[in-house]
Amino acid sequence: ISGAVKTVYIVPGAGDDFLLQYLAQAGINLITGVPALAELQSQWVATLGFDFAAALRQAWPSLLAGKGGLEFEPPLTIENINPAILTTGRQRLVEKTRAELEAGYIDTGVDPLTGEMR
Percent of the chain with pLDDT over 90: 35
Q: Is residue 101 over pLDDT 90?
A: no
Percent of the chain with pLDDT over 70: 98
Contact 67, 44 (CB under 8 A): no
Res 102: pLDDT: 80
Contact 35, 47 (CB under 8 A): yes
Mean pLDDT, the chain, whole residue set: 87
The pLDDT tens digits for 11-59 are 888 878 889 999 999 899 999 998 888 888 899 999 998 888 888 888 8
Query: What value, to the nearest 5°, has the Cα angle with vertex 5 and ends 21 and 94?
Result: 95
Q: Which residues contact 85 (CB under 8 A, 6 or more apart)?
A: 29, 44, 45
Between the alpha carbon of residue 45 and those of residues 56, 62, 64, 76, the distances in Å are 28, 37, 39, 15
